Amino acid sequence: MIIDIILPLSLVFIMFSLGLGLTLDDFKNVVRRPNVFALGIINQMILLPLVAFLLILLFGFKQEMAVGLMILACCPGGVTSNIITKMAKGDTALSISYTAVVSIATVITLPLITGFSIHYFMGSEAPSINILSLGVTMFLIAAIPVIIGLAVHHKAPGFTRSFEPKASKISAILFVLIVIGALASEWDTFVTNVAILGPGIAALIIVMLLIGYGSAHLFKLSESQAVAVAVSTGIQNATVGITVGNLILSEGEGLSVLSLPSGVYGIMMYIVCLPIVLAYVRLIRAKFAAE
């Protein structure tokens, strides 16, 4: 019961803090730069689930692990992708625009793909799932807090400037606690599957970073835009995945096994992604220093 209440409320606060960092201009970027924006959306909402599906088959993910990874692949990017984009000297405004729109769009796409994944990978053992109910729940705990945060930013910019940094820190702490809880509550399952989960999730991050970066250059985007597309494509909001997994298949006092891939991902994205970003930043600095 504690998990059923605290986990969704934590996600509500995290999504609210995300909304505090948004402005109406972030949504206007969709119109201002439609080609640039479309590429990131295609990568994140179409190619990412397809790549995840192929990696599931390649690495032999079974039932709940497979469904959990598909749930993760449908999640929007989080504040983390915006921060990493900034660290890598990418187009932060574009990254924030991706986060804003995809966070709302996944209210529709996530329940649909999750419903398909459950029936495809679990067959007769699939838990019952009401796609409409899941969509409504996602709207209430993910989209609505983002919209409220955006409204607060617009109506009370003074409050936002003072509270938003604190909200970001609280969100980071909540994220860490959620990831730790996800792994601790399913530790035996994690140990049993870590040999498959670790390489599979690392492969997903690396492949999507490369697809994002490569596709951006293929369509002749600027270097800063390419970085934003790559990070937004490769980094997802693990908290959403953990919460959705628990909404679908509650484990009483613990977190759902469907949440485990998102919990592992929450750690792997720092282990895998940050070294790549830091190496890229050093490369760019060395390039400018040589010039």
Question: CA–CA distance from 216 to each of 27, 158, 224, 280 (Å)?
Answer: 20, 37, 10, 16
Q: How far apart are CA 253 and CA 108, in angstroms?
A: 28
User: CA dist 3 to 63, 120, 168, 253, Å?
Assistant: 23, 28, 22, 6
- The two three-digit tokens of residue 149, written as one number: 């945060």
Q: Which two tokens stand for residue 170?
A: 């609280």
Q: Describe the crossing of helices 238-248 and 157-185 by its angle, rounded to 10 degrees.
A: 60
- Distances, alpha carbon 194 to alpha carbons 166, 183, 191, 272, in Å: 34, 11, 5, 15
**Residue 25 and residue 213: Cα distance in Å, rounded?**
24
Closest listed residue to residue 79, CA positions, set 280, 203, 238:
238
Domains of the chain listed by start with CATH number = 2-290 (1.20.1530.20)
CA atoms of 206 and 213, how far apart (whole Å): 11
Note whether 68 and 261 are within 8 A (CB).
yes
pLDDT tens string, the chain, 291 residues long: the values are 455 677 777 778 877 887 787 777 766 766 777 888 888 889 988 999 999 999 999 998 888 889 999 999 988 877 778 778 877 878 877 888 888 788 888 888 888 898 889 989 888 777 777 778 878 877 887 778 888 888 888 888 888 888 888 887 887 787 777 777 767 766 777 777 778 888 999 999 899 999 999 999 898 888 888 888 998 888 888 888 888 888 887 665 566 778 888 888 888 887 887 788 778 877 766 665 565
pLDDT the model gives residue 186: 67
